[in-house]
A and B are shown apart, each in its own frame.
Chain A
Amino acid sequence: MSVEVDVDESDLAEMVEQVWESYLDPEGVSPLMQNYDHDQPTEVHSSVSITGAWNGHVVYASSRAAAQRAAAAFLAMEIDEVSEEDISDTLGELANIVGGNVKAMLPPGSQLSLPQVVLAPESTARYPSAERISGIYGTWEGEPVSISMWHASAETKEEGA
């Protein structure tokens, strides 16, 4: 059985703001600017799955340039020094942080998976029978970034999770 959740876009926006303030933009000079474009193209993504009282996924997606910039900010290095491993690790941690905070707003007893990272565009095919229920869509220094929540039926889990 899966319950309805009250995590809405303003909750997600608050979490995202905290992530930017803590790691990606501690100086407060380049926040994520929302553009509400659900269909903006992305090139890489990461996700965590939540199972239990609520079943679904939290997905972080962005352009490769935004992912490089995020890794550079996380790891305190220059953008041209960022490796694929750095990008993968940073994207995983971003999904983990947002997903963990989403889980805290759900009924007790839910489980959070370890993050999965795919350095390829987000695709609905990875979340069979899941429906996107909420999201923050915008640009960070001109590059597309999104954080979205997907609700799945209790019987459905992410492929390979």
Chain B
Amino acid sequence: MTPMRAMVIDDSRAMRMILKRIVTKLNFEAIEAGDGKEALDLLADMTEVPELALIDWNMPNMNGLEFVTKVRADPRLREMTLVMVTTESEQSQIVRALAAGAHEYVIKPFTEGAMIEKLALLGLVPTGANS
């Protein structure tokens, strides 16, 4: 069976490592990108779209909100579950991200357990994967 795949999009390598550890623990194959543009370039070359993207907001070249907007405008990518993972915790920013098409919003700092709970709510945690 082909493993589910998750894009981890953050300009911080340290944060990508943390997120990669979590999704790998949940049996996802992780794909890293340093900003929204790099993520879109990677997606353009993929024949199969990843099931999940974890997206930082503040990134150089293309920020997370722009990435979400572009993904939602592309019918080929519409099945991707988009989760913003960011320090932007103002209510207005959360509303903007959700209105643009993000499914969930996780505010940094987060614990591993909190992230897994969010993904479980989205139906992306196979039974027993996080035990």
> Does B69 interact with chain A (Cβ within 8 Å)?
no
Q: Is the CB of A108 within 8 A of B90?
A: yes
* Total A-B residue contacts, Cβ distance less than 8 Å: 66
Say yes or no for A104: interface residue by CB 8 A criterion. yes
B12 contact from A92, A101, A104, A112, Cβ within 8 A: A92
CB distance from A59 to the nearest CB of B (A): 16
Which of B40-48, B72-80, B109-117, B121-129 faces chain A? Answer: B109-117
Say which residue of A71, A86, A96, A101 sits within 8 Å of B89 (CB atoms): A101
- Those of A1-30 within 8 Å (CB) of chain B: 18-19, 21-23, 26
Q: Are B92 and A108 in contact (CB under 8 A)?
A: yes
* Candidates A85, A97, A114; contact of B108 at CB < 8 Å: A97
> With A and B bound together, what is the CA distance between A23 and B89 in angstroms?
18
Indicate whether A122 reaches chain B with its CB closer than 8 angstroms. no
- Residue from B11, B90, B110 in contact with A104 in the complex, judged by beta carbons closer than 8 Å: B90
Whole-angstrom distance between the Cβ of A138 and the nearest chain B Cβ: 18
Q: Please pick, from B21, B60, B87, B92, the residue contacting A97 in the complex, using a CB distance under 8 A.
A: B87
A144 located at the interface, meaning its Cβ lies under 8 Å from any Cβ of chain B in the complex: no
Asked if B12 and A23 sit within 8 Å, CB to CB, the answer is no
CB of B88 within 8 Å of the partner chain: yes
User: Is B86 touching A93 in the complex (CB atoms < 8 A)?
Assistant: no
Residue B58 at the chain A interface, CB threshold 8 Å = yes
9 interchain residue pairs of minimum CB distance:
A100-B87, A22-B109, A104-B89, A93-B12, A74-B14, A90-B14, A89-B14, A89-B13, A93-B14
Residue ranges of B at the interface with A (Cβ–Cβ < 8 Å): 11-15, 17-18, 21, 58, 60, 86-90, 92, 107-112
Taking A97-B109, A104-B89 as given, write out 17 further A-B residue pairs in contact, using a Cβ cutoff of 8 Å, ordered by the A residue number. A22-B110, A23-B109, A26-B111, A74-B17, A85-B13, A90-B14, A92-B12, A92-B14, A93-B15, A96-B108, A99-B87, A100-B108, A104-B90, A108-B90, A112-B58, A112-B87, A112-B88
